[in-house]
Structure 1
Amino acid sequence: MTRNGGDVVVETLAALGVSHVFGIPGQHALGLFDAIRRSDLQFVSSRVENNSAFGADGYARATGEVGVLFLSTGPGALTALGALQEAYATGVPLLVITSQVPRSGLGLRRGMLHQLDDQQRSATNVTKSTAVVRRAAQIPSLLADAWALAQSAPAGPTWVEIPQDVLLEITDVPVVTSVVASVAARPPRPELVDAAAALLGAAERPVILAGGGVRRSAGGPEALVTLAEKLDAPVVSTVGGKGAISFGHPLSAASWIEDRHTTALLEDADVLLAVGTAMGEVTSNYFTLAPKGRLIHIDAEPRVLEANHPGLGIHADAAPALTAIASAVSQRSGNGAAVASGLRRAVEDRLASQDLGIELALMRDLREAVPAAAQTFWDMTIAAYWAWSAWDPREGGFHSAQGSGGLGFGFPAAIAAAIGSGERTLAVSGDGGAMYSIAELATARQHDADVTWLIVDDGGYGILREYMTDAFGQATATELARPDFIALAGSFGVAAHLATLDSVGEIVADTFTTRGPAVVVLPALLKMFALT
């Protein structure tokens, strides 16, 4: 059998240990897809390239593997960029392999189908690196390098373009059976560890703010708990950091980051250790956080260090940095557990003073309905905004689109996660966000994915309606026509259920006893808690 560049790509992926690939076929990428036919790779075809990228993202989050994405030239590649922004902002490792026009058209305007002036440059805002293959012999090394860089902290998407003629040309490159892919370590500098240990050793009111970088770092959660226990320090989790420390741990102050009591706790610490977080807009309670004590800021992305607050910046991956600091500090006896439990009681009392019975009951009912180990994926919707703070992930992973805030993440990410993990997942969307990924009902059905999709239908862009009404007294362009979601799901052969606030928990729980995709529609008008 003759082999071509497409075979070299697929062989390289197999040598890297890839099992699943996401994407949509395209004219310039046909060499890739013909090669997949001759391989053991499982291809998951979505209906929109942006959703393919969300799928690869969800697969990576659920499995801990690199998500691999095949894109076609021009419109296909460009359509995926919005979803790649989420992976880039959140630090999700993806390897994006996109086709290109033949080499004879690169950099020219020859009127080729799908041709862009500079497709590679289009990706630079949402990827860690970009490369263009010129010869089939380059494919194994360029893919291996991109694979390793995608996982090197801070993780994120990498982008490799392969022209159509390279994919189709017969090659004498030997069959790829091994590749060298070295993931770079990011340890802390010893003098910075010593400085951090000195600050924490002298602290009377240390507090830890744990971000998504802790969860993504191999051994990060364990290292976090070890240091927290040694310092006897309360730990606040960001949205991305949910699960870095169990909510059941005595030192967990949960993740009510949009709360004045949590903001006050972080501000009043005489030493605040922020790790794996940019301390950005949501985490800082919309930039109201103003630390009064010393700040130690650890992150693998150097651009976030001290970006919002001055402090001791430590450029390092979370796990080795936390482990090194824990080894350098002495055991401390404090009142961390009492501070953590006191904060959680204060938050509960504040919420109890507001008219939020419906929303609190919904969060409680969904939490009890979903198995403790289930992975959950949340779109940008009011229910998700509640979940950012209120949801206890237990043994499962909590994933949201909070990194870049784009709509349509939840359902395609949950489909791919279910396919990759072999376990049922939960996606939560609003009716507005649901329309971004409604075509993926076909994907869920085609692959018989064990996914439950909860659509909270409030007739429009609910959070924007609330923002605009608060700001201007009325909302504009937030009310939406939408389909009969029950009938639409049924037309795809997907089981669908109409729920009420009283029945939604029971219905969602029942779907976790079934196989295949299921849709639950909840007509409900939710509101946000007051931020102050």
Structure 2
Amino acid sequence: MSHDHHDERPELTPAQIEAALNPPPGRTGGDLVVETLRGLGATTVFGLPGQHALALFDALRRSSLQYVGLRVENNAGFAADAYGRITGEVAPLFLSTGPGALTSLAALQEAAAASAPVLAVSSQIPVHGLGGGRHGHLHELRDQQASFRDVVKSVHTVRAASQIPSAIAAAWESALTAPHGPVWVEIPQDVLEAETGLPVVLAPDATPRELHARPELIAVAAHLLANAERPAIVAGGGVVRSDASGKLRALAEKLKAPVVTTYGGKGAFPWGHPLSLQSWVEDRHVTDFLEDADVLLVVGSGLGELSSNYYTFAPRGRVVQIEADAGKLEANLPALGIHADARDALADLIDAVAPREDPAAADRVAGVLGRVRDRIAGQGRELEQDLLAAIRTALPDASPSFWDMTILGYWAWAAFDARRPNTMHSAQGAGGLGYAFPAALGAAVADPTRPVLAVSGDGGAMYSVAELATARQYDLPVTWLIVDDGGYGILREYLTGAFGETTGTELARPDFAALAASFGVPAVRTSPETLAADLAEAFGRPGPSVVVLPALLKMFEPTHL
């Protein structure tokens, strides 16, 4: 019989037994939720109250958990997503029933795509109304969990108070088992509100399952890599999520293998390293280089649309793919698929591979980067590159940045030097608008000691303006850069490219600086020439700031065609 960590049961002390036999009065199902989260190690809850979820919030009042309330559920989800990415810990998200829960779906989709551990606890109509009928309850859905099942990693339903601790613990374990992801727990209103005589919840065991690589596959991968003539590595978001950037660097240096990071893997490998091909995954020169590798190690990436240069990437050598999401193994390319957590598998490979010598590797990398630079230089896109340089100058190296689906964000994916792992984040996983500012607020909650940058266009900013109130209420050190080009800039370019004209992309918008000021948030209109100084001043000031940059930016020309 096998034994694992789940089999070790702590002995209760006499005082703990006495406490279990005499639980304090006045507790409800909501308290069981909060006590379980506390026992699991949660410190912060994001969310937005609603009629059926009142007992959850009443229990919060009695607990030591910090509550951060946002103004829209989707934004609360984005904040929780960023908190999970920055800390690597589970971010609880409290939601109401029906419209409140459904409004979070786009944020949970992003958390799923980016492997962010968010634990959503949603209320539900009372138990007697469940079962697909139409009882006329406010917020009622025929099958609420069906709306979440396609989005989150796992769904956990509660129908009685005694089920609460186990459901929360199972969800917690699921959220933190590689690949990390959002999970959803549904608890009816009457179960949350009913008084309970159950003992106070002690710390439950929700240790995530470890995902080890099969040793025979590591042996084959190590043999292929050590004997390769032109090995190369593609590092994805899984390297960042599993905190494996140090292991990645050690393996790359042992193999003398050039490394490209995907957009989700930004910061996983040092930008200026002699083996760094940076993150120009949409550049044909880089794609050609990767296609020429005789052994390509893909770690923590499913090689999706962007990472495969719009599915044009056709490697000629052997591909080894390490991926924690079993469904992504060989989903886009045939490979030696290794189902494993990136950190764990990279450690195994470092031990197993023989070192390689390749004195020409750094020269080949420099040659590719030179061709990329020349290509971009021929497109007359100095303004966009100057803006990124100004941001990089002003932003402290350890400060996280959050980028919306906006033209400057697309530039940053390819051209911005994220100087530390896990400091650059965007919504490129699912691609929804409005991510940057509420996510930056979540990151500031996770670590209020360093300034945080959010970058949006004016279109995406309108999704998030309500959260200026949140930034002010909690005095969060987030500087929000809004690039105002009078519309949906990327869609303007896409529509023009596809159809020769645009529809629905031109937008009336507020005076963002005046709007921010009305929330009590300091704001300044800037220019490309003054951007670095204005950002530096904002970063140096406590609390939130808004910097508005009127500018019409252009994308770099794609090279996948």
TM over 0.5: yes
The answer to whether residue 515 in structure 2 is matched with residue 488 in structure 1 is yes
Classify the secondary structure of the residue corresponding to 2:202.
Answer: coil
Q: What is the match of residue 464 of structure 1?
A: 491
Q: What is the match of residue 427 of structure 2?
A: 401
Q: What is the match of residue 223 of structure 2?
A: 198
Q: What is the match of residue 345 of structure 2?
A: 321
Q: What is the match of residue 410 of structure 1?
A: 436
4+ long deviations beyond 3 Å: none
Confirm or deny: 8 A CA contact 1:93 1:151 kept in the other structure.
yes
Q: What is the match of residue 78 of structure 1?
A: 102
The answer to whether residue 353 in structure 2 is matched with residue 353 in structure 1 is no
Classify the secondary structure of the residue corresponding to 1:497.
Answer: strand
The answer to whether residue 219 in structure 2 is matched with residue 180 in structure 1 is no
The answer to whether residue 281 in structure 2 is matched with residue 257 in structure 1 is yes
**Cα distance in 2, alignment partners of residues 60 and 316 from structure 1:** 21
Q: What is the match of residue 274 of structure 1?
A: 298
The offset of 1:238, in angstroms, is: 0.4
* Pairs within 5 Å for 1:232-381: 232-334=256-358, 335-381=360-406
Confirm or deny: 8 A CA contact 2:268 2:420 kept in the other structure.
no
Letter in 1 for 2:515: L
Letter in 2 for 1:205: R
The answer to whether residue 42 in structure 2 is matched with residue 15 in structure 1 is no
| Deviation sequence 1:107-133 (CA, Å, 0-9, x none) | 121111101001011101111111111
Q: What is the match of residue 512 of structure 1?
A: 539
The answer to whether residue 194 in structure 2 is matched with residue 140 in structure 1 is no
Classify the secondary structure of the residue corresponding to 1:123.
Answer: helix
| Deviation sequence 1:79-120 (CA, Å, 0-9, x none) | 000111000011111111000111101112111110100101
**Cα distance in 2, alignment partners of residues 106 and 345 from structure 1:** 63
**Cα distance in 2, alignment partners of residues 339 and 45 from structure 1:** 51
The offset of 1:319, in angstroms, is: 1.1
Letter in 2 for 1:442: A
The offset of 1:342, in angstroms, is: 2.2
| Deviation sequence 1:285-307 (CA, Å, 0-9, x none) | 11111111111111011111111
Letter in 2 for 1:70: F
**Cα distance in 2, alignment partners of residues 415 and 255 from structure 1:** 26
The answer to whether residue 469 in structure 2 is matched with residue 442 in structure 1 is yes
| Deviation sequence 1:381-412 (CA, Å, 0-9, x none) | 00000000111111361000000000000000
| Deviation sequence 1:40-62 (CA, Å, 0-9, x none) | 11111111100000010011112
| Deviation sequence 1:458-500 (CA, Å, 0-9, x none) | 0000011011111211111110111111111111000010011
The offset of 1:340, in angstroms, is: 2.2
**Cα distance in 2, alignment partners of residues 389 and 205 from structure 1:** 24
**Cα distance in 1, alignment partners of residues 124 and 364 from structure 2:** 57
The offset of 1:351, in angstroms, is: 1.2
**Cα distance in 1, alignment partners of residues 489 and 247 from structure 2:** 39
**Cα distance in 1, alignment partners of residues 522 and 87 from structure 2:** 26
**Cα distance in 2, alignment partners of residues 207 and 243 from structure 1:** 17
Mean CA deviation greater in 331-340 or 441-450: 331-340
**Cα distance in 2, alignment partners of residues 140 and 201 from structure 1:** 48
Confirm or deny: 8 A CA contact 1:359 1:526 kept in the other structure.
yes
**Cα distance in 2, alignment partners of residues 474 and 63 from structure 1:** 44
**Cα distance in 1, alignment partners of residues 167 and 517 from structure 2:** 45
Confirm or deny: 8 A CA contact 2:457 2:485 kept in the other structure.
yes
Classify the secondary structure of the residue corresponding to 1:160.
Answer: strand
**Cα distance in 1, alignment partners of residues 335 and 206 from structure 2:** 35
**Cα distance in 1, alignment partners of residues 170 and 365 from structure 2:** 43
Match of 1:158 among 183, 186, 199: 183
Unaligned runs of 5+ in 1: none
**Aligned CA-pair RMSD:** 1.0
Mean CA deviation greater in 382-391 or 8-17: 8-17
Confirm or deny: 8 A CA contact 1:136 1:167 kept in the other structure.
yes
**Cα distance in 1, alignment partners of residues 106 and 154 from structure 2:** 17
**Cα distance in 2, alignment partners of residues 119 and 401 from structure 1:** 25
Unaligned runs of 5+ in 2: 1-24
Classify the secondary structure of the residue corresponding to 2:547.
Answer: strand
Match of 2:235 among 183, 205, 210: 210
Letter in 2 for 1:280: G
Letter in 2 for 1:405: G
Classify the secondary structure of the residue corresponding to 2:257.
Answer: coil
**Cα distance in 2, alignment partners of residues 492 and 216 from structure 1:** 35
The offset of 1:374, in angstroms, is: 0.5
Q: What is the match of residue 114 of structure 2?
A: 90
Classify the secondary structure of the residue corresponding to 2:453.
Answer: strand
Letter in 2 for 1:407: L
| Deviation sequence 1:193-224 (CA, Å, 0-9, x none) | 11111211221000000000011114x11211
**Cα distance in 2, alignment partners of residues 299 and 173 from structure 1:** 42
The offset of 1:525, in angstroms, is: 0.3
Confirm or deny: 8 A CA contact 1:266 1:272 kept in the other structure.
yes
Confirm or deny: 8 A CA contact 1:235 1:340 kept in the other structure.
no
Classify the secondary structure of the residue corresponding to 1:162.
Answer: strand
Confirm or deny: 8 A CA contact 1:99 1:161 kept in the other structure.
yes
| Deviation sequence 1:341-382 (CA, Å, 0-9, x none) | 222222111111110111111111111011111000000000
Classify the secondary structure of the residue corresponding to 2:149.
Answer: coil
**Cα distance in 1, alignment partners of residues 365 and 179 from structure 2:** 29
* Number of residues of Structure 1 aligned to a counterpart in Structure 2: 531
TM-score, length of structure 1 as denominator length: 0.98
Q: What is the match of residue 69 of structure 2?
A: 45
The answer to whether residue 86 in structure 2 is matched with residue 58 in structure 1 is no
Q: What is the match of residue 474 of structure 1?
A: 501
| Deviation sequence 1:160-216 (CA, Å, 0-9, x none) | 001101111111110112211120111111111111112112210000000000111
Confirm or deny: 8 A CA contact 1:69 1:96 kept in the other structure.
yes
Letter in 1 for 2:530: S
The offset of 1:249, in angstroms, is: 2.1
